[in-house]
Structure 1
């Protein structure tokens, strides 16, 4: 009876329902932001500013790898670029801190936000669709956080090191606080979103919009699109684009495999239905 009421809900009822999910999602983000604000010093030193220092995990790992194969350390000099950041706007530090806290709050709250979105769209799905998409929340959360972590430990430190050390005009590279926070947020959220492509491919394949034939036919065109996406979500230097392009190509091939799996499963289901008839 309750399911029937959900299906017969008016358009205005859906709007009110959506509003409730959005309000709860915003509250979850603000709760996450408050937690980030409470632990701001730790988050700032150990998370936001950490990739600017030679003590960062990625730099140390690469140096250890170089030593293990008998070559000189890749990053031989000690550095801390955070000491070189400048603030040129009176309210720049306040704005940067609030923005960073909100984004960190979103990252913390993303599983719950995805859950609220799923609760909104779930009543509109058939029983069979619900059964095949029960792992949607876990899948979206996994791919998003994997993208964030990949960006944080690989793309971001390589971009920082390359852009700070690249000096063709023999002048010092001086960054502002706002430019670094924009780079930080752009790369983390950008990669988190594009890592969701396999999830989108799965859902589009389930409703018949995307097929494996389409993805394989336009594979060369997809490479151009991937390069454009890599340029948008990175600082547009060659190093960052190369690092971003590799996982995006892997995700594209993984999406081809997913659509093939869904497509073949649908063909088998249709064949069983024909046999029953």
Structure 2
């Protein structure tokens, strides 16, 4: 069968076994980058310092002399290690996503590469921004609000495992919420929904954003607003970005038409 001389992917076909070998190599490199980042953070500043950094928004709002507790014998050892592994994954996330990009890129046309690579980079940046926003702003405001309304007869002594579960849930929630522009761009670029429909859906999305914030975040106004308002702003950013992506990532045939 003769190949189209204008086909950008001509000659790039590879046997199935070769794809599996490359996938294995990419996974090993991605896992290796996470492990390198984990061991680097374990050496400096160390799991204990990583936990102190993560717990600082809560500890700073506790009454003087109050500390966190561990209800399990092995928790003081495992929880800091889990936090260090989580930080290592975030630190290595650009390398992990690059390995994903390098694996799928040979099978994409040029106009598709112009779409995928910016989405990989932007999704990484947005997720990290969501986690940072949650840790450095939301946690401080939420914990201050909780302590301000707590009865004076209650001594706060949060369990470190429960705190880790809470932090992980909030990080995932805010990291995923900050991916709203990427989702909007993908839906618009795939033709699932038009830019006009996205604008018309703006009012409904605001309601959906507040419902999601009410379900995911703790039952306080501060954290709900801190999640819902950025989601609404990022939705508007997604509409603007979708217009630019659709314009610059069209296939050559579509431009000719």
What TM-score comes out, normalization by structure 2 length?
0.81
For residues 1-277 of structure 1, the aligned pairs below 5 Å read 4=10, 6-10=12-16, 13-38=18-43, 39-40=45-46, 41-45=48-52, 47-54=53-60, 79=62, 83-167=66-150, 170-263=153-246, 272-274=255-257
Instruction: Tell me the alpha carbon deviations over residues 143-202 of structure 1, each in whole angstroms, 9 at most, x when there is no partner.
Output: 122112111111111122222333269533431111112222222233123212212332
Tell whether the 8 Å contact from 1:147 to 1:194 is kept in structure 2 after alignment.
yes
Residues 20-29 or 218-227, more deviating: 218-227
Tell whether the 8 Å contact from 1:191 to 1:233 is kept in structure 2 after alignment.
no
Distance 2:229 2:39 in 1: 36
2:6 alignment counterpart: none
Deviation at 1:254, TM superposition (A): 0.9
Deviation at 1:8, TM superposition (A): 4.3
Distance 1:146 1:130 in 2: 24
Distance 2:166 2:217 in 1: 8
Deviation at 1:243, TM superposition (A): 1.0
Judged with a 3 Å threshold, the aligned counterparts in structure 2 of structure 1 residues 193 and 82 are, in CA distance, closer, same or farther, namely: farther
Residues 193-202 or 112-121, more deviating: 193-202
What TM-score comes out, normalization by structure 1 length?
0.76
Residues 215-224 or 235-244, more deviating: 215-224
Structure 2: stretches of 5+ with no match in the other structure = 1-8
Deviation at 1:86, TM superposition (A): 1.3
Judged with a 3 Å threshold, the aligned counterparts in structure 2 of structure 1 residues 30 and 268 are, in CA distance, closer, same or farther, namely: closer
Cα RMSD (Å) of the superposition? 3.1
Say how many residue pairs are matched: 248
Deviation at 1:266, TM superposition (A): 7.1
Distance 2:227 2:91 in 1: 23
Tell whether the 8 Å contact from 1:111 to 1:141 is kept in structure 2 after alignment.
yes
Judged with a 3 Å threshold, the aligned counterparts in structure 2 of structure 1 residues 48 and 82 are, in CA distance, closer, same or farther, namely: farther
Q: Secondary structure at the match of 2:155?
A: coil
Deviation at 1:270, TM superposition (A): 7.2
Deviation at 1:265, TM superposition (A): 5.6
Higher relative contact order (CA 8 A, sep 6+): 2
Tell whether the 8 Å contact from 1:205 to 1:262 is kept in structure 2 after alignment.
no
Instruction: Tell me the alpha carbon deviations over residues 21-72 of structure 1, each in whole angstroms, 9 at most, x when there is no partner.
Output: 2222122112111122112243333x21221344xxxxxxxxxxxxxxxxxx
Distance 1:50 1:230 in 2: 24
